[in-house]
Structure 1
Amino acid sequence: MRIIALLGLLLAMTAAPAQAAPIRCGTPTVSTFLTSTDWYENLEFDKGTLWLSNLSGNRIEQYRLDGTQIQHHNLRAPGAIRKGPDGVLHVNFGNDSPETRDQPSGVVRLTPKPEVWIGGDTLSSANGAEFDARGHLYVSDPFTGLYEFDRQGSLVRHIDLAYPNGIVTIGNTVFTNILIDPKSAIVRITGNRQTRIELGAPDKGLDDLAVGPDGKLYVTTYTSGELIKVDPWTGAHCVLMSGLKNPTAARFLPGTRTMFVTQASGTVLKVRL
């Protein structure tokens, strides 16, 4: 959500049904995991610890779940952190604004220090990421579209999509938030078919999203400051939380109904459903 760009022409897509069965949110329990003045962009869990992308601090940080910091690695403008099929953490870097996107961008692997895995001139601003059931990695670049890489890091395909941001997968179906969209759209991609799931006007500034243990999507909205629960197949949705300060990403602690939410305002929240 560091990217600020003009609204462009959207691709012609199928829209999800406007009249979907109702969905219920309930009231979560919320506590503060971390308070800072830094911009936290993304997160991932690994072996009972939490990794955070500190975008403004140009580093990734590892924490115990009691909030104690274990270590950090310097990395310029980190974006999404995701665990690969081999258990190794992959981290986007060069998640830049328009003014600095001429600098290198790509993906590193923590083995255990950051080593460039995808580099070169393919990506200009690596933002969201997720692995699918085959172990292929999808990376969003809001300036140029969505990219699919195989297990060796070779480019499989480029999906021409305007302003993709956060990414999750359910099996081999890909869901990506559209950063700038007048109807706050999520795009569901199955093979070559794209379906729009619209959360409604005005543009909420959809950032990242997570898949919950209930199979629903949990979407952070940078501009409107909400966490929205969405049925990925019908488009039905409700607001789980509001009044947040520029939430950027959410991720569930494996095997639980507890998610952690990062914010550009610096506070990381612990949300129990």
Structure 2
Amino acid sequence: MIPAAFDYVAPTTVDDAVRALSEAGEDAKVIAGGQSLLPVLRMRLAAPSKLIDLGRIPELRGVREDGDTLVIGAMTTHYEVQRDPLVREHALLLACATDTVADPQVRHRGTLGGSLAHADPAGDLLAPALALDAELVVSGMDGRRAVPATEFFTDFFETSLRPGEILCEIRLPKYTGWSAHYEKFNRVAQAWSIVAVAAAVRVENDTIAQARVGLTNMAATPVRATAVEQALIGQPATPEAITEAAQHAAEGTAPTTDGNADVEYRQHLARVLTSRAVTAALST
């Protein structure tokens, strides 16, 4: 199907993009990599009056260090995130999750910021952002503001982005020396996660000193498995301790029933995949 007619603008600065979005009003849409928006347009589930393309804004791309913080531009593609040495060194969990996103074609076009702003609870990058205490910097006519990941995802496909705001960059504390793994369960390769677990751990003297665990598709927003984290900290890095801690994975979740799984099965998957994810992280 062909999308409905719309005006198109490709600003070259964030200020110009914000201005264009503000002037266009509620009927405008922002396009990043287009991997989520274009299918919606083609099915005419959305019919914006204006499309604002962020692809020509250099300041929205790239990875850099800012002291103890890793900064990733919202328009940085999945392919670039996968291969960036700074991401691999300081935010390995994000790189591991990005490795599982769709297929090479999508990873070359899709962007980190676009995925986070789309806020699909089955998307693979929301849980890692939450687990790693990401801070999302957005820009609007009133200036810039930083939103913690815990406050950014508000509901099913909804975020705290206000009208006229765009996501500019993602800021992550450095997790240098941490081990990580993203365990994803789906029916076929390249499909959305039925359930997935993002796990990052730091070990000292064979003891788990710190842990971060995020769950994908276990609620309308990504979920931090804090009960698992608390159960892991201070425990020996053994299969028995990991299995016991993983039994807390479904606590505080609100999974849905759909054609792929019911609530009980998703809760079971959360426990099993958490054990696998932490075990795999500790083996890296």
Normalised by the shorter chain, which TM-score bucket? Answer: under 0.3
- Structure number with larger C-alpha Rg: 2
TM-score after normalising by structure 1: 0.25
Structure of higher RCO (CA pairs closer than 8 Å, 6+ residues apart): 1
**Structure whose residues are more often strand by fraction:** 1
TM-score (norm 2): 0.25
Higher helix share: 2
